[in-house]
Amino acid sequence: MLPLEHLQTSLARSVLAMEPPIAATLLTAGKADPLARLRIYQNNTRSSLTAVLMAVFPVTVRLVDERFFRYAASEFIRRHPPAESRLARYGAGFPRFLKSIDTLSDMPIVAETARLEWAIAEALDAAWLPPRSLGDYENIELGTSPDVLVQPSLRLIVSHWSILSVWSAHQQGAEADRHSAWARRAERVALWRAGDSIRLVQLDRANFAFLHSLKHGLGLEHAISRALALDPSFDLVSALVRLFGDGLVTDVRIPIHPLAN
């Protein structure tokens, strides 16, 4: 007789792996076939996890068609079962998994679009903090090099493909051509949670670098330096007005430096 904890672990692995490694003699199901009962749990689990992936990656589903997506999802679930109980966090490795499928080797935009959709899912699951207004800091001088804290939901993505254009083309409710808006061109996308919705914008290199520095806590001075290095005409005032106007700033802190002796 297996210890209960061992039996539970083995049963969970059997269900998630979609394989029946547990011997039938270790399971009881009344007069029913225990392995047949196990297969019911396997099918229900696979169906539930597939539904989660389809909800997270709706545009990806439309790009490859539902039948192929279900096949890919089934393989992903078999090889990468959930590692935690929160289904909202399931699917992080799916875009990378799509890149490994030979059938999609000539369609890299599929995995790239999935990467954007996972970033959207992450942003929706992240905290939303009350934004601050520019007027709250009107007495702060930029020369003090403050640290600008941004919304924790902010995600930044660089792709060699037109992922935002593809995603946007499938948001109109109509059946879009699955190849519509496909183009091999770099797009830099910023997205974040705004209440219960998601904002997505396309950025140039300088503004992307500006936000990237702030997101990683490198300070305003570093962010300005990065942006100006990419575009000497970078407009800091416009960038700050847009940053506050978009509700991305959650706080501005002045570093405290020790007094010199």
Q: Contact 18/43 with Cβ under 8 angstroms?
A: no
Token readout for 94 is: 């799916």
Same domain for 103 and 45: yes
Provide the percentage of residues in the chain whose pLDDT is more than 70: 76
Residue 171: what pLDDT? 86
Residue 149: what pLDDT? 95
Same domain for 168 and 73: no
Question: Number of structural domains, the chain?
Answer: 2
What is the rounded average pLDDT for all residues in the chain?
85
Q: Is the dihedral of CA 203, 165, 63, 183 positive or negative?
A: negative
Same domain for 133 and 118: no
Residue 1: what pLDDT? 46
Domain end call among 89, 105, 125: 125
pLDDT: which is higher, 90 or 178: 90
| Full domain range(s) for residue 159 | 128-261
Same domain for 254 and 139: yes
- Total length of the chain: 261
- pLDDT bucket at 166, cuts 50 / 70 / 90: very high
Same domain for 225 and 133: yes
Same domain for 249 and 180: yes
Same domain for 230 and 174: yes
**Is a pLDDT exceeding 80 seen at residue 42?**
no
Same domain for 146 and 54: no
Q: What is d(CA 246, CA 119) in angstroms, rounded to the nearest whole number?
A: 18
Q: What is d(CA 111, CA 115) in angstroms, rounded to the nearest whole number?
A: 6
Task: Read off the pLDDT of each residue in 18-43 and give the average, rounded to a whole number.
Answer: 61
Same domain for 136 and 119: no
